[in-house]
Structure 1
């Protein structure tokens, strides 16, 4: 019998696997799944590009007959609604006859919510829910944000000097941060469905917004421009931050610049996560990272952000914040 510590360890492995699909699953959640038998992982899976196969289907195919009597760890409740793209995961799990199914979090889709676990229970399979729920929710935040708020999960990324500037007064911004921080920023691009800049950034910098990491070039997100600048071919153009709700197949959106664009998303209360790359330089008289977004008082600025992580990236420092309210 596995302990609660074992359950948490294997669920953490499933959550880690879920990140392999992040930014590639369209409107589907990036789920992870591991199958364990007698203390050995016999199957692994994560949601594939475009949303199919689902993580459970991939892991069950990997495990084969070894799934019978095993424990299945999955980061979200197995789907239980019919689809032309394949059988429900709840049915596939039942057919595999595992001993237990351990689920991190319920689905928020009304077509599946609680139906999946009820179906498993009716088939005589032991079901546990809530193991590392918060961690799984964070790992699949793009799906949850879209389902609950009708828009992608938004990360605002800023590369700043110590005095909060993103460029010199003449607009020069290459490079504020060092090579290690820039590589990390490209990894973040690879984990998103779409990436957005404002018209000013497009016209001045003409950014490619692609992923330039060896082996991840095919993970470049869909480029989007906010504003009136003429976009390059294959870019998407929107006029207001609220229009991100109409971006196709997008759970995760990265906003990269500039100051007015950052302010517009903050003003619209549509930023869920902050990535602040701070370089150990002082510019003085440079362009601020964020323009005025209508803050009424210092008191009203407090309580909105919770620091989740900090790390050194070469000479630079990364700070990650998430919405607190």
Structure 2
């Protein structure tokens, strides 16, 4: 026999699947919604497709069969319904107006202007159940949640190195340490982030294009916003000047200020591909959320390490990470890691 609790869990798993159909780019979260009838059968499903499009709850309501009553439905949503007017109206009002009797959600909305939907629903007499599969939902939309809670973009730091931790040979050459599969994966990661960031040193030394390209060298549909940190100007004839999106020259080395500015521009994820100087500064300042390390089965030796001084004076100060994924890419290996959660006394 299906119980409400098990039905809500099943519907929430489906809502999280639906959420991933929406874009992860831009300022809006990925959200999915499943509408259940009083007998716990599915009446409709919906998801958010991006800024300016109907939110998941409204999308699901629009997909009900003609003549199907909205009164008494339960809305199972992966994120607390919003309670603000932006390009679209508040989802809390849409659910109240539809006569939904219960709202079940996984994660509270941390947005300063968009939160409060649960309380609005309760005041209107709608039963609210919070925290269903919260951990699963936290992981599904982790980049957006981290960005919104911190007020800065989610930062992914990437480097490619030899097994002995070298990012280049002694003469500075680095093309190519990794193979084609790993390099293509990097292009896919570029396309999956709102912005790509390097330092002026990388621009002047390598003249990178920082575009996201497919196997055949074609430009992918989604291109990251190119961002350069540092005081030195980007040369007029630099490859970056031909990027499909307008170059952002920050004229600053203040990483917190740069990230705050990007957040204000609607950027919620940044892919850092800078050299050791920029990469090390992000690590030193505790600004890295995910590490993507591409390891090639080769040895280079020499001084060109992937990271420079991190301010670690003794082993007690080491930056401990948690490995979340290890993926073979041809002859290379991708290691994905994140900062180790702080222990609470």
What TM bracket, shorter-length normalisation? 0.7 to 0.9
Map of 1:154 onto structure 2: 155
Distance change in 2, residues 1:139/1:67 (3 Å): farther
**Using the alignment, how far apart are the partners of 1:96 and 1:194 within structure 2?**
39
Residue 312 of structure 1 and its aligned partner are, at CA, apart by 2.0
1:310-325 aligned at under 5 Å gives the runs: 310-323=326-339, 324-325=341-342
Task: Check 1:220–1:33 CA distance in 2 against 1; reply closer, same or farther (3 A cut).
Answer: farther
- Report SS of the residue matched to 1:91: helix
- Secondary structure of the structure 1 residue equivalent to 2:13: helix
Give the whole-Å Cα distance in 2 for the aligned partners of 1:185 and 1:41: 40
Q: CA RMSD in A?
A: 2.7
Q: C-alpha displacement at 1:25, in angstroms?
A: 2.7
Secondary structure of 1:213's aligned partner: coil
Match of 1:235 among 230, 247, 262: 247
2:46 counterpart residue number: 44
> How big is the shift at 1:51?
5.2
Does residue 246 in structure 1 map to residue 250 in structure 2?
A: no
Question: For the pair shown, which has the larger CA radius of gyration, 1 or 2?
Answer: 2
Structure 1 residue 277 corresponds to structure 2 residue 294? yes
Mark the runs of 5 or more structure 2 residues left unpaired by the alignment.
Answer: none
Alignment of 1:55-134 (within 5 A): 55-63=56-64, 66=68, 68=70, 69-83=72-86, 85-98=87-100, 100-113=102-115, 115-134=116-135
Alpha-carbon deviation of 1:147?
3.3
Q: Does 1:263 align with 2:267?
A: no
What is the distance in 1 between the residues matched to 2:190 and 2:43?
A: 31
Within 1, Cα distance between the matches of 2:18 and 2:204?
A: 38
Q: Cα deviation per residue 1:245-300 (whole Å; 9 max; x = unaligned)?
A: 10111111110121111011112221111111212222222621111122222111
How many positions carry a matched residue from both structures?
320
Q: 201-210 or 142-151: which moved more?
A: 142-151
Return the TM-score normalized by structure 1.
0.86
- Could you say if the C-alpha distance between residues 218 and 2 of structure 1 is closer, same or farther in structure 2, counting changes exceeding 3 Å? farther
Distance 1:21 1:260, change over 3 A: farther
**Residue ranges of structure 1 left out of the alignment (5+ in a row):** none
